[in-house]
Amino acid sequence: MAWLLVALLAVGALVAGWRGGRAAFGVGMAIALVWMATAVVVATNVGDADGFFDCGIRCAAAQEVVVLVFFVGPVLLVVLLLGSLAGWLARRIGH
């Protein structure tokens, strides 16, 4: 189920990047804000979130979310960047 969520987020980032402008900026800011909020949660150790690296098979829900955000967030930003570049190139070639 998590992979479906990651795939949907990646498609959303790609489409927002392709459209460019405010859509890409908004999605990029949302990704960055969620990533920074997760870093604050880890730094303050809410729900033993800082134990995400060594929890093994007994990870709590908060630790699973931290792992998802920390590792998928940068990937989504790269997908957003690639979508923005592709959309910009398509608009540039089309004119």
Mean pLDDT of the region 27-37: 93
Determine, yes or no, domain membership for 8: no
45-66 tens-digit pLDDT: 887 888 888 888 888 888 888 9
- Which run of H or E residues covers position 84? helix 61-94
Residue 79, domain member (yes or no): yes
Nearest to 18 by CA among 90, 93, 92: 90
Residue 40 lies in a domain: yes
The structure's pTM equals 0.83
Let me know if residue 3 belongs to a domain: no
Query: Does 94 reside within a domain?
Result: no
Residue 78 lies in a domain: yes
Tally of domains within the chain: 1
The percentage of the chain sitting over the pLDDT mark of 70, rounded to a whole number, equals 98
Domain containing residue 63: 25-84
> Measuring CA to CA, which residue among 3, 20, 1, 10 is closest to residue 85?
20
Has residue 31 been placed in a domain?
yes
